[in-house]
Structure 1
Amino acid sequence: MMPANHSTPDKTTKTGSPKTGEPVYLAIGKLQRTHGVKGEILMDILTDFPERIKKGNYVYIGAHYREYIISTIRPANKKYLMSFEGLEDCDQAAILRNQMVFIKTKNANVLPEDEFYHHEIIGMTVYDESGNSLGTVNEILVTGANDVYVISPQEGEEILVPAIKTVVLSIDREKRKMIVRLPEWD
């Protein structure tokens, strides 16, 4: 039940999770350094679907989501070397260093029924097994082992829920509802 890709809307928390609503863009990579003299730039891959990044695809780069068309793309270890139409040399490509690369959410892969994008989880109402409302998912913490859902109740302190199948019993996309079995802490 772990979310697949990280989403980045206009307003985010410090972890990159959206606060509300469906984002317009999803992050798929982060540009690093230029390579050679023909405008290639190295991209760290942040998507679970790198095979969908192809020559001719539109991507949106940086905080203002400037549109570019991928001109060339090739694997380089666990990254991609790519160039963009209109950027013909390393000096032109250098302006994109350290920028995030996005696709439009509407162009994202449809996930299997038991996988979710972060923007689908944020804002869901969470209930325990008895049907008691626990609050709303306010944030997703990305940890090494599994994501953790931060639930904000009407009253009281936040509840941290690990995104694992033994705790998250069901998620209903349509009803925006999650049912959890809270871990018992000794």
Structure 2
Amino acid sequence: MKVEVGKFVNTHGIKGEIRVLSDSDFTDERFQVGQQIIVKHKNEEQSFTIASHRLHKNFHLLTFEGIHNINDIEYLKGSKLFQEEDNKSIELEENEFYYADIIGCTVYVNDEQLGKVTEVMETGANDVWVVQGDKEYLIPYIEDVVKKVQIENKSIYIEPMEGLLD
């Protein structure tokens, strides 16, 4: 199964480096040198091997083997990046979840449906779950707010802090 790991938002410099906005968990493992990335562009897929990875201003900068010039990669700008899921081989700690397991879960407040998680944003201090309901809500993944996560039922129960849902 392929999982989305990010979006190619722009190039960086002239030597074929790309700027990626991550949609993924465990980016240190996913963007390691030697990992395969699948780029979906206009209903076609191309596979690339990561040659380098570094962080720069909240973006992941990647280069691919065999790509040494902006002209060789720029046409893929705007494309989604995927990887083959490796059966979730990364060992999780208690209360850690794969993004793919969280996205699509229904969020409840006092047994009333708030909406579904559509995205996970990394903020540094904690993740923030984007929940789409009657409007968009930003739910911080912190113990004071998220009370129960049931991956098997695709359900998340929260107790919002004052002003969080306003």
TM-score range, shorter chain: 0.5 to 0.7
Greater RCO (CA < 8 Å, at least 6 residues apart): 1
Cα RMSD, aligned residues only:
3.9
Flag the 1:99–1:124 CA change in 2: closer, same or farther, 3 A: closer
Residue 73 of structure 2 corresponds to: 93
Q: Which has the higher strand share?
A: 2
Matched ranges for 1:10-159 at <5 A = 24-28=2-6, 30=8, 31-33=10-12, 35-36=14-15, 40-44=16-20, 46=22, 47=24, 48-63=26-41, 64=43, 66-70=45-49, 72-73=51-52, 75=54, 79-85=60-66, 87=67, 89-106=69-86, 109=90, 111-128=92-109, 133-135=111-113, 137-140=115-118, 142=121, 147-150=128-131, 152=133
Residue 179 of structure 1 corresponds to: 157
Query: 1:126 deviation in Å?
Result: 4.1
Alignment check: 8 A CA contact 1:57 1:70 kept: yes
Alignment check: 8 A CA contact 2:48 2:65 kept: yes
- SS of the residue aligned with 1:116? coil
CA distance in 1, matches of 2:74, 2:47: 14
Amino acid at match of 2:115: V
- Computing the radius of gyration from Cα coordinates, the structure with the larger value is 1
Aligned match for 1:168, one of 146, 149, 152:
146
Identical amino acids, percent of aligned pairs:
17
Alignment check: 8 A CA contact 2:12 2:61 kept: no
CA distance in 2, matches of 1:148, 1:135: 15
- SS of the residue aligned with 2:75? helix
Flag the 1:82–1:67 CA change in 2: closer, same or farther, 3 A: same
CA distance in 1, matches of 2:138, 2:55: 37
Query: 1:59 deviation in Å?
Result: 0.8
Alignment check: 8 A CA contact 1:32 1:98 kept: no
CA distance in 2, matches of 1:33, 1:159: 31
CA distance in 2, matches of 1:183, 1:75: 36
- SS of the residue aligned with 1:35? coil
TM-score (norm 2): 0.61
Amino acid at match of 1:124: C
Gaps of 5+ in 2: none
Amino acid at match of 2:159: R
Amino acid at match of 2:81: V
Alignment check: 8 A CA contact 2:107 2:116 kept: no
Aligned residues: 153
